[in-house]
Chains A and B, each alone.
Chain A
Amino acid sequence: MQNIYINPEFEVIRNENRCIKCRVCERQCANEVHSYDADLNLLISDETKCVNCQRCVSLCPTKALKIVKNDCRLRENANWSDSTIKEIYKQASSGGVLLSSMGNPNPLPVYWDKILINASQVTNPPIDPLREPMETKVFLGKKPEKVQRDKNGNLICNTPPQLELSMPVMFSAMSYGSISYNAHASLARAATELGILYNTGEGGLHEDFYCYGKNTIVQVASGRFGVHKDYLEAGAAVEIKMGQGAKPGIGGHLPGAKIVGDVSRTRMIPEGSDAISPAPHHDIYSIEDLRQLVFSLKEATEYQKPIIVKVAAVHNIAAIASGIARSGADIIAIDGFRGGTGAAPTRIRDNVGIPIELALASVDSRLREEGIRNNVSLVVGGSIRSASDVVKAIALGADACYIATAAVLALGCHLCRTCQTGKCNWGIATQNPELVKRLNPDIGSQHLINLMTAWKHEIKELMGGMGINSIEALKGNRLMLRGVGLNDRELSILGISHAGE
């Protein structure tokens, strides 16, 4: 059967005056776009294979390359966009479900960009973070309802287990398998250095990384890959993954081609076998069932570790979170519809779930109304892109944020959104040893440390501007936020006033 021809999305522009035929581009491209024609002494391009990851552009020693959008387009149509038509061609040729990577790229509202932060003027003066102490430390976990004392008046210290973070940001779940050994090494080392945590994702924990356990969240998903006593013991907290923002209601499926070597051993399934995490945990159909998994993990870890329940932001998220807060979980992680992924069906990624800003605001309000906000800490992810997004999230009611796309960008990801091919030229979303070694964990971890250090400074500056010197005083402080260009309904869900009010 002949496939319908699809125009390449990108064009490789090579400046022949600059090209010195060193063939770096050819060696660097795992997609095999570039090749050398010895007869003509020319480098030629097969643009059908180009994903615009910018690897060749970045490494070309004479900067002879650029990748541009191919301007050979189908006839313009406001209803049938170029990409919609091409998706039809792909499906007509293959019969397959469309598979995409990374977060929803469509022009849907980004509420962070329509929320503005307050600053002090004249009264309640701003604080200069360069000379005043500013506290960015947060503790995640269930908080006691009230202080208890024994009959002699001494404090009874029965605080449930807490995670201590030097700043309200953690690296969210990316499994070993979906990302490389060196990517995991970078995250683990950076988290340890920074005094924050990273998350194993559902692929188990490589034995080399057990030493970073104090800064590790170990995940338990429906497939239970790599889950055993030592793994649960190794982490500082255990996260039950019920869902993720990029594909709510859909399970994970790591293709057999990526289950090689150490990935196979860490997941404890044979090489080449698909790793299937179905959408539901087949033993969880209710909050009571969730409670059973929460407490089985608490029993197995002797109540020493907080249990996180991660869910995708969906329509009834406030009611769902209320249930989770009563399940015995210590922390709820909510992942918005912009959250990234190594692979998700396009239709799910782009059409299912809700923005994290709205989910967070409604969950925080609901838990407060019900008087159970202190039962749990709230961690939000699903496209936290900057220090100002973090500050806005905290002011909307989050205890901390999860970042992953921002973290892989710091590792060199260029957001070409083709992780599912396993041919990541930046050594992140691949298991090909030749590609993995392109990511040096010394440099990778340093980039992550740099990024987080910079964000921490920015968070302090933004807090200082508001006259706030402790992140705890910012939490749920929605008076510090104003909306711009939002309608009444949006403002009411976000629980903020419009700018000028």
Chain B
Amino acid sequence: MNISARNTDYKELNAALRDAKGDCSITDCLGQRFIAAGMSDKNIKITGIPGNALGAYLNGAVLEVMGNAQDAVGDTMNDGKIIVHGNIGDAAGYAMRGGKIFVKGNAGYRAGIHMKAYKEKQPIMVIGGKCGSFLGEYQAGGTIIVLGLSNDRKNIVGNYPSTGMHGGKIYLRSDCHGIKFPSQVTAHAADATDIEQIRPAVSEFAELFGLNAEEILSAPFTVVTPDSKNPYKQMYVAN
């Protein structure tokens, strides 16, 4: 079913989505926020530009955006998939606790902030391009993969990556020279085992965007992991 977003606000658009049976496409999307918030059982293809908080609390639905998306993609997402063929804004996957986000282009600041994981719930975010500052801030679980496939001269990640990180893993497809990590994490060159762990996610990414997974995986990767699950333990004295 096709829903034209022309002249509709987010409330109408989401109401139409909820009423629609089966898979949907949204055309002429122009900044409507909260698209598919909390939805679980649909495949939704979006042309145009969705607004902030695309797929907030997403609970199993699959969203595919043919262009760019804005801030807070997949905010507090629980399950499902968000595929973006362009770039995305800030705070993508805030407190994401399940599902997958694939972005062909770049991500803004604070991607993967508060990402969590628990047993079988293991969220994955793959950014094809580069990321802004504070990547994986307070990350508590899950996997963030940044591939740096864009051709600009920027670093693969901006300043202060993994600040407050205390769980999960970040993979950066770079030797990370010149990138400063905080003292509570360890960054090391990925070995074969590390690469095997991300092969399924990178293969899925490559297939989605028509790229070659082996080529992507053949470059050096850096893995960032936290040293402690309790980074603030020593700071207090009982009074």
Q: Which single member of B11, B53, B238 contacts A418 (CB below 8 Å)?
A: B238
The residues of B that contact A100 with a CB separation of less than 8 Å are: 239
- Check A14 for interface membership: any CB of B closer than 8 A: no
Q: Which chain B residue has the least Cβ–Cβ distance from A223?
A: B114
Assess the B231–A274 pair: CB atoms within 8 A. Answer: yes
Q: Within residues 396 to 425 of chain A, which ones have a CB less than 8 A from any CB in chain B?
A: 418, 420-421
Is A451 an interface residue when CB atoms closer than 8 A count as contact? no
Contact B166 A273 (CB under 8 A): yes
Q: Is residue A308 contacting chain B, with contact meaning CB distance below 8 A? A: no
B34–A299 CB distance below 8 A: yes
A282 touches B110 (CB 8 A): yes
Which residues of chain B are within 8 angstroms of A90 by Cβ–Cβ distance? 237-239
Chain A residues contacting B33 (CB-CB under 8 Å) are 292, 295-296
Interface pair B232/A276, CB less than 8 Å apart: yes
Give residues 245-273 of A contacting B (CB, 8 Å). Answer: 253, 255-256, 264-265, 268-270, 272-273
CA distance A252 to B239 in the complex (A): 17
Within 60-78 of B, Cβ neighbours of A (below 8 Å) are at: 71-72, 75-76, 78
Nearest-neighbour CB distance to chain A for B11, whole angstroms, equals: 7
Size class of the B contact interface (CB-based, 8 Å) = 35 or more
With a CB–CB cut-off of 8 A, which chain B residues contact A55? none
Within B35-85, the residues touching A (CB, 8 Å) are 37-38, 40, 52-53, 56-57, 59, 71-72, 75-76, 78
For B95, the chain A residues whose CB sits under 8 A away are: 223-224, 227
Q: Does B164 contact A (CB under 8 A)?
A: yes
Complex-state Cα separation, A222 to B164, whole angstroms: 14
B218 contacts A by Cβ under 8 Å? no
Q: Which residue of B has the minimal Cβ distance to A226?
A: B97
Residue A232, interface by CB 8 Å: yes
What B residues does A295 contact at CB under 8 A?
10, 33-34
Name the A residues within 8 Å of B164 (CB-CB).
276, 278
Asked if A18 CB lies within 8 Å of chain B CBs, one says no
Closest 10 CB pairs of A and B: A96-B237, A224-B95, A300-B38, A98-B239, A299-B37, A268-B118, A299-B34, A228-B78, A94-B237, A273-B229
B-side residues, CB < 8 A to A, are: 10-11, 14, 18, 33-34, 37-38, 40, 52-53, 56-57, 59, 71-72, 75-76, 78, 90-91, 94-95, 97, 110, 113-114, 116-118, 121, 137-138, 140-141, 164, 166-167, 229-239
Q: A96-B234, A223-B95, A282-B137 are in contact. List 13 more A-B contacts (CB 8 A).
A: A90-B237, A94-B237, A223-B114, A227-B95, A229-B57, A269-B117, A273-B140, A274-B166, A282-B91, A292-B53, A296-B33, A296-B34, A300-B57
